[in-house]
Every structure is written in C-alpha cells, then in structure tokens.
Structure 1
Amino acid sequence: MESKNYHEDLSHIRSMMERSSRFISLSGLSGVFAGLAAIIGAIYVYFVFQREGIDYFDGDRNVFGKELVKELVVTGFVILVVAVLSGYFFTASKSRKKGLKIWDATTRRLLMTFAVPLITGGLFCLLLLYHQLFILVAPATLIFYGLALVSAERYTLTDIKYLGYCQIILGLLSFMFLGWGLVAWTIGFGVLHIVYGWIMHKKYK
C-alpha cells in the first residue's frame, strides 16, 4: 500500500513539474484546422495562377506582377490568421477542460522562443519578395517554420520537433526542385499539419 502511494506521489510531482515547465495544452485539432486552411489557400492560389495564365511549374520563368504579389501576400496573411484563431480556440478549450491557465510564464517563454525564427523568416521572405525572388519564398517559409517548431519543443510537447524536422527537410528538398514550391508548401503546411494534429489529438486526448 505504501509503495502504491509512493508511486502516486512521484507521478503527481512529475505532473506538477511538467505543467510548470511546459505548455501541455496545445491541441491537436488546431493543427488539423490549420492544415485544412493551408490546403484551401493553396487551391485558391493555384486557381489564381490559372486565372493569370501562369504555369507555376515553369519555375523561374514565371513573372509575377505587383498586384498578384499583393494578392498572394493577403492570401497568406488570411491563412495565418485562420490558423492562429483556430489554434487559440482549440487550445483554450483544452486548457479550460484541464483546469489550466492558457497564459502564464511558460506560455510567454514558448511564444518568445517560437517567434524569433518565425519573425526572422517572415522578414527574410519579405526581402525575397522585394528582390522578386518569388520562387524561393515557399521553401524559405517551410525551413524557418520548421526551425521555429524545433526551438519551441523546449517549452511544449516534445512531439512537435518531429513536425519541425519534416518541415525543414521538405523546405530543403523544395530548394532542389524549384517550381514545385506550392506543392511542397501544401504538403508541409497542409498535409503534415493534418496528420500531426490528428496523431496528437488521439495521443493526448
């Protein structure tokens, strides 16, 4: 009986330490919805290219006008907003069910660690757009996003680093096969998010 209580106490202490050092309320469903938003956005972009008479798979032979670039940036921003809002909704819901605070010192550390490579990548991509290196934007977003995920693993579920590794590898591969960036972007931000999110939802349900 004493042995049982001893193990229960250890489990409780371990759980308390994990809660204080890691943000464990991250919802897998947020990944699923972010992935769906990315796929819908990618399909929209593909039809925009069709509308403009652009064969995206021609790679560096494509010429993007200023208005088209603005439309693509707005589309990307909308996808980001949808992903963030869905992430907050499902994560906040999970936190309430577990009786945990969604905003604390651990959350702040997580966001700071995640934001540095993400903001750096965002500025880098804006510079690529400024220099009209459009074909490099999709690979760059995948790589910097992957780096952000790997960095954030320190303060949240360790499984997230595997999604980060996949994003980095996919981004590097898309640098090798220029012209297929939209496909790689769809797989990375769409398919991988859905698969990862569903696995995490089942694992930590």
Structure 2
Amino acid sequence: MESKKYLEDISQIKDLMNRSSRFISLSGLSGILAGIYAITGAVVAYLFLLPKNNGYVILHSWNFRMLIAILIAVAVLSFVSAYLLTTKKAKKNDEKIWDATTKRLLVSFLVPLITGGIYILIKLNSQHYGLTASLMLIFYGLALVNASKYTIGKVKYLGYSEIVLGLLCAAFPGYGFWFWVLGFGVLHIIYGSLMYLKEAKA
C-alpha cells in the first residue's frame, strides 16, 4: 500500500516539474481562428491579386505589396487571438502566462521563423518565386517543432505536418498556393478543433 502511494507521489512530482518547465498549451480556438484567417486571406488573394494564368506576382508591384499586407494581417490577427485566448485560459487555470519558459518558447519559435522569413525575402529579391510557399511551410513547421519542447500541447505534430506538406509543395511547385491554404488554413483548423475537443472534455 505504501509502495503504491510512493509511486503516486513520484508521479505527481514529475508532472509538476514537467508543467513548471513547459508553457501552457495554446487554446484550441486560437488554432481554428488562425486557420480561418489564413483561408479568408487566401480567398481575397485568389480573387483579386493572383494572376489567372499561373504566373507569378512581380516583386515591388502593387499586387505583391497587397499580398504582403494580407500575410501580415493574417499573422497579426493570429498572434493577437492566440495571446488573448491563451491568457484567458491561463487565468482560468490559475497559470502564469509570462515567465522564463515563455521567453524560451518565443526564442525557440522566432529564430527559425525569422531566419526563414529573411531567406525567403532574399530569394524573392533574386526573382526566385517558385518555392516561396514551400519555404514558408517548412520554416514554420521547423519553428513549431523547435518550440514544442516548451509547450504541453501536441504542437510538434502540427509542425511535422507542415514540414511534410512543405516538402510535397517543393515537389509540385505549380500548386504552391493550394499547399499554402492546406498548411496554414486547413491544418490549423484540424489541429485547433482536436485541441478544442480535448479542452472541452477536460
């Protein structure tokens, strides 16, 4: 009997240490919203900005500037939604939202993401447009996997999925737009929905 209690105490201590060294999982609803923002931005781009003959948007053109504006808007809306919903979740569970673990998570996430963003801009400036969507998916996936060690949620599986999708996109560059929609839109909605259902059961 004492042995069983001892094992339970060890398990609880281990769980407590694990949680103290990891950031709380992101809200599932924030993942769903990020996917919706991405799909909405993609629809606007497809209807009004992208060439209809499978051509590329020329750098420094009005269309290119508008596409960048849409990407920034999607990123900002996704970040703000994630922050607000995760903060609300943290307060509900009496957990900290900003500490040393959060800083490590952000650094782990932003280093690959910013590196990828700079590399993509360099390639675009060299008029290499074909692998833009693929590189975005791959570097975003790497950022998620790299940051996943500091979060409780199964973010790494979303990261792996983004990387695989990015590699497939590289193999079929003519379908980059649709791979982008699938990776940043559909996958986020699926992941967010699974997390939301898990939260509802908890």
Give the TM-score taking structure 2 as reference length: 0.91
What SS is found at the alignment partner of 2:173?
Answer: coil
Match of 1:24 in 2: 24
Match of 2:38 in 1: 38
Map Cα deviations across residues 160-204 of structure 1 (whole Å, 9 max, x no partner).
111111101111111111121110011000000010011112224
1:141 maps to 2:171? no
1:89 maps to 2:78? no
1:55 maps to 2:49? no
1:116 maps to 2:111? yes
Which piece of structure 1 moves more, 10-19 or 124-133?
10-19
| Alpha-carbon offset, residue 5 of structure 1 | 4.8
State how far apart, in whole Å, the 2-side matches of 1:32 and 1:19 are: 24
**AA of the residue aligned to 2:52:** D
What SS is found at the alignment partner of 2:80?
Answer: helix
The answer as to whether partners of 2:45 and 2:67 remain within 8 angstroms in 1 is: yes
What SS is found at the alignment partner of 2:95?
Answer: coil
Taking a change above 3 Å as real, the CA distance of residues 27 and 67 of structure 1, as seen in their structure-2 partners, is same
Runs of 4+ with deviation above 3 angstroms: 1-8
Match of 2:63 in 1: 68
Give the TM-score taking structure 1 as reference length: 0.89
| Alpha-carbon offset, residue 6 of structure 1 | 3.9
| Alpha-carbon offset, residue 120 of structure 1 | 0.4
State how far apart, in whole Å, the 1-side matches of 2:19 and 2:57 are: 50
Which piece of structure 1 moves more, 152-161 or 31-40?
152-161
Query: Please, which of 126, 148, 155 is the counterpart of residue 150 of structure 2?
Result: 155
State how far apart, in whole Å, the 1-side matches of 2:116 and 2:31 are: 20
The answer as to whether partners of 1:55 and 1:62 remain within 8 angstroms in 2 is: no
State how far apart, in whole Å, the 1-side matches of 2:177 and 2:107 are: 29
**AA of the residue aligned to 1:64:** I
What SS is found at the alignment partner of 1:100?
Answer: coil
State how far apart, in whole Å, the 2-side matches of 1:12 and 1:63 are: 55
**AA of the residue aligned to 1:199:** L
Identical aligned pairs, as a percentage? 49
What is the number of residues matched between the two proteins? 199
Match of 2:10 in 1: 10
State how far apart, in whole Å, the 2-side matches of 1:137 and 1:2 are: 60
| Alpha-carbon offset, residue 117 of structure 1 | 0.4
The answer as to whether partners of 1:25 and 1:95 remain within 8 angstroms in 2 is: no
Map Cα deviations across residues 85-126 of structure 1 (whole Å, 9 max, x no partner).
001011101100110110001101111111110000111111
**AA of the residue aligned to 1:25:** S
Q: CA RMSD in A?
A: 1.8
What SS is found at the alignment partner of 2:131?
Answer: helix
Match of 2:98 in 1: 103
State how far apart, in whole Å, the 2-side matches of 1:99 and 1:63 are: 48
Extract unaligned runs of 5+ from structure 2. Answer: none
